[in-house]
Amino acid sequence: MKNKTEPLDRQRIAQVALNMIDQHGTDQLSMRKLGSELGVEAMALYHYFRNKAELLDGILDIALEEVSAKLAAEGAPLQRVRATFDGLRLMAIEHPHAYLAMVSRRFRTQISLQFYEQLLQHFHDAGLSPAQSARYYRMMANFTAGAGLAEVGSRAQQPDATPIILENFDQPEFPLITAAMPFLRVSEIDGIYHTGMDILFAALQAELARPA
């Protein structure tokens, strides 16, 4: 067990847990191992997080704060929406192991709900109704989550990745897959993501432009 050098709080515990996941994956995270890393008994952690699910919520808070810290404080509302989703996608690149667990978490902590509220505020400021905001938020969130999962898989940053198949697929019995693969490589992912977001934002702007 390491020496305890700093007082415990939720932020520190979640940050150390995220660092451990980045290095070893979510499956290797346990309260016992986390306590050892922090220099305390595992039971001490349950004062801050009742279980691993709550700990994952705390880790999501850390990741969302990282996204928020990189967002500019100015810009048109829809530009800020776009930047927010771009930041959420980057979570998959910066924290690939954690992303697989975080993408299924619901916003329920104060930090995550504040993040959600701010994003919906940008939609509101752009002139969207609550129904429109909900619809476009969901479409963009679903697309971004899927793009993030593709990032993790295609960049081979999970234990069972098979990048050789993706990068060098050439099987005559699957001619259409073989033909498509050069355009699905890691070098193409960024362009595919931005093209998809361009389509969604074009649809949103067209809807805003229609007479009420």
Please tell me the predicted confidence (pLDDT) of residue 182.
83
- Residue pair 136/202 in contact (Cβ under 8 Å)? The answer is no
Please tell me the predicted confidence (pLDDT) of residue 78.
97
Cα 104 to Cα 65: distance, rounded to the nearest angstrom: 18
What is the rounded average pLDDT for all residues in the chain? 90
pLDDT tens per residue across span 83-133: 999 999 999 999 999 998 888 888 999 999 999 999 999 999 999 999 999
Assess whether pLDDT exceeds 50 at residue 160. Answer: no
Cα 95 to Cα 83: distance, rounded to the nearest angstrom: 18
Please tell me the predicted confidence (pLDDT) of residue 197.
98
Assess whether pLDDT exceeds 60 at residue 161. Answer: no
Which range (42-56, 70-84, 159-173) has the least confidence?
A: 159-173
- By 3-state DSSP, what share of the chain in percent is helix, strand and coil, each rounded to 5? 75, 0, 25
For residues 138-154, give the mean pLDDT: 91
| Domains in the chain: ranges and CATH | 51-209 (1.10.357.10)
Assess whether pLDDT exceeds 80 at residue 2. Answer: no
pTM for this structure?
A: 0.88
Tally Cβ neighbours within 10 Å of residue 98.
26
Please tell me the predicted confidence (pLDDT) of residue 152.
86
Of the candidates 140, 96, 113, 119, the one whose C-alpha atom is nearest the C-alpha of residue 57 is: 113
Assess whether pLDDT exceeds 80 at residue 167. Answer: no
For residue 183, give every residue at least 6 positions away whose Cβ sits within 8 Å of its Cβ, in sequence order, or none: none
For residues 54-72, give the mean pLDDT: 96
Please tell me the predicted confidence (pLDDT) of residue 168.
67
Please tell me the predicted confidence (pLDDT) of residue 158.
44
